[in-house]
């Protein structure tokens, strides 16, 4: 499908969503028993698209959002970097050493099964209410996504390719550079796209549970005074910057995977 047509369809979906939201929250559909107008999406609970966008504009115009946004982005990027690097290194190590993977397999699965919300208060106790408790919460979300993708990507390398590479005289270091790493790279970037959002989630959840700054803090403050517009404004700003970071990751992926044959187009 042509890029322009795809972009048009994506914009159409957004416009339909905003249109349904606007109509449901501003156009009354009759009256209730007490005489008040009935809305499919009551503004008190859902706000309106116009009010949310106006609040987002106001937060950027008066500069009140920049400090909070900077803190959340710093926490998310640290979590993304630490979790991704650790996931790649350990994913390669476990995939190349079957005995190590077999020994630690149940412990990795148990650690991955732990609810992250339960870990947030523990990290706050260990690292305080500063940025590092949020960073390590984000790391626990990012690490396992990257780890399992890299582990599977390395294990998916065909044995025929490995046998041919060894017949050509490649040592383990050359195999890592020229066979394993290219084979796992697409898996790595697949996990990074998901990890960007989870890094932000970890930062925001940590701020929501205990902090004095950040997007999670702003959302929590807005919820405390039933400011639904403020809650949705914080969510919109969060999604905007997740998309921006994802675009950067996509750009890097496209540059590093130029060698990979493009998928055949069937549409």
What does the pLDDT read at residue 256?
Answer: 65
What does the pLDDT read at residue 254?
Answer: 73
Residue 261 within any structural domain of the chain:
no
Residue 32 within any structural domain of the chain:
yes
Residue 70 within any structural domain of the chain:
yes
Distances (CA, A) of 165 to 154, 171, 175, 259, 260: 15, 9, 7, 18, 19
Q: How far is the C-alpha of 261 from the C-alpha of 110, rounded, in Å?
A: 38
Regarding whether 76 and 121 lie in a shared domain, the answer is yes
For the chain, the domain total comes to: 2
| Residue 252, domain CATH | 1.10.3720.10
Regarding whether 16 and 81 lie in a shared domain, the answer is no
Model confidence, pTM: 0.79
Regarding whether 225 and 214 lie in a shared domain, the answer is yes
- Residue 89's domain spans which residues? 48-256
What does the pLDDT read at residue 201?
Answer: 85
What does the pLDDT read at residue 82?
Answer: 93
Strand partners for 37:
31
Residue 263 within any structural domain of the chain:
no
Residue 266 within any structural domain of the chain:
no
Q: Residues 126-179: pLDDT tens digits?
A: 888 788 888 998 899 899 988 988 888 777 776 777 777 777 777 777 777 777
Residue 265 within any structural domain of the chain:
no
Regarding whether 97 and 226 lie in a shared domain, the answer is yes
The tokens for 46 are 């859902």
Regarding whether 112 and 2 lie in a shared domain, the answer is no
Regarding whether 54 and 41 lie in a shared domain, the answer is no
Residue 267 within any structural domain of the chain:
no
Residues of the chain with confidence (pLDDT) below 50? 264-267
- DSSP notation for 50-78: HHHHHHHHHHHHTTHHHHHHHHHHHHHHH
């Amino acid at each position: 499908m042509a890029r322009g047509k795809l972009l048009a369809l994506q914009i159409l979906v957004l416009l339909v969503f905003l249109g349904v939201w606007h109509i449901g929250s501003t156009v009354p559909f009759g009256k209730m028993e007490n005489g008040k107008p009935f809305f499919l999406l009551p503004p008190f609970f859902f706000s309106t698209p116009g009010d949310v966008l106006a609040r987002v504009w106001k937060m950027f115009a008066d500069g009140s959002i920049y400090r909070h946004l900077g803190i959340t982005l710093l926490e998310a990027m640290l979590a993304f970097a630490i979790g991704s690097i650790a996931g790649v290194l350990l994913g390669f190590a476990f995939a190349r050493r079957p005995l190590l993977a077999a020994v630690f397999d149940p412990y990795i699965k148990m650690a991955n099964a732990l609810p992250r919300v339960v870990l947030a208060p523990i990290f706050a106790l260990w690292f305080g209410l500063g940025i590092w408790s949020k960073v390590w919460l984000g790391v626990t979300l990012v690490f396992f996504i990257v780890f399992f993708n890299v582990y599977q990507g390395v294990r998916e390398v065909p044995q025929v390719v490995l046998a041919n590479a060894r017949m050509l005289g490649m040592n383990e270091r050359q195999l890592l550079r020229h066979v394993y790493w290219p084979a796992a790279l697409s898996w790595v970037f697949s996990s990074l796209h998901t990890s960007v959002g989870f890094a932000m989630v970890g930062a925001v959840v940590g701020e929501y549970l205990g902090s004095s700054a950040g997007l999670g803090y702003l959302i929590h403050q807005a919820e405390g005074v039933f400011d639904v517009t403020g809650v949705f404004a914080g969510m919109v700003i969060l999604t905007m910057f997740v998309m921006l970071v994802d675009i950067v990751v996509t750009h890097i992926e496209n540059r590093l995977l130029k060698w990979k044959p493009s998928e055949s187009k069937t549409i």
